[in-house]
Amino acid sequence: MNQKLKIFLLLLLGVSFNLTAQEDAKQLLDKMSATFSRNKGYTISFTMNIKQIRQKTSESFNARIDLKGNQFYLTTPDIEAWFNGKTQWVLMRQNNEVNMTTPTEQELRQTNPIQVINSYKKGYSYEYKGTRNDIKGRSSYVIELTPEKKGDIEYITLLINKENYAPNSILIRQKGSVESSIYIDSIKRDVNFPESLFVFDKKKHPDAEIIDLR
């Protein structure tokens, strides 16, 4: 076979493989996203590990987030956060201060780690990377997301449950050698949340200082 023809066929096969990998990734991401209806409420309990690779340090903590559409209430050992679709309140437990903002999408991703589940829909390319077990031994599809524009995030690795297409874990690699790993412990579906859950209630935190940064 002509050498040029061989090279052409190899390149063609490579392109075909990449297209197939992207198509497979898109189908899996769509199925994962579909497990979260915007009109229903979800409680997600998860374990988060933040690793400083250069410093060789890491910390882990348990957290919970209540979600309904683009609204959420997040509680961790250090913070509580509320977002009603427009305004975000973040309570820092240590100093009892509440930062009140109108956050950007990037700022919301920093507060709500689950938001990256839908990141693939805008500003990311994605690729199917095969299958493997997650840290809890759950069989998972592996999808890698790469930002189309340079920013704080280098890439995101999603592990999607092979049985129900729910996320098993999310790894976010940031510049500066920081890795944030989110391990989903449980997902409670069809929860009816009052709208007040997603708004900071001053009566429940009478001594908190509110700093309006809008």
Span 123-166, pLDDT tens digits = 888 889 989 999 889 999 999 988 888 878 889 999 999 999 89
Residues of the chain with pLDDT under 70: 1-23, 38-39
- Give the pLDDT score at 22: 56
- Give the pLDDT score at 77: 93
Give the angle subtended at the CA of 48 by the CAs of 56 and 61, to the nearest 5°: 90
CB-CB contact of 126 with 25 (8 Å): yes
Q: Which two tokens stand for residue 46?
A: 């998860």
- Give the pLDDT score at 83: 96
- Give the pLDDT score at 207: 92
pTM confidence score:
0.81
What is the spatial distance between Cα 139 and Cα 135, in angstroms, rounded to a whole number? 10
SS (H, E, C) the chain: CCHHHHHHHHHHHHHHHHHHHHHHHHHHHHHHHHCCCCCCEEEEEEEEEEEECCCCEEEEEEEEEEEECCEEEEECCCEEEEECCCCEEEEECCCCEEEEECCCHHHHHHHCHHHHHHHHHCCEEEEEEEEEECCCCCEEEEEEEEECCCCCEEEEEEEEECCCCCEEEEEEEECCCEEEEEEEEEEEEEECCCHHHHCCCHHHCCCCEEEECC
How many residues make up the chain in this entry? 214
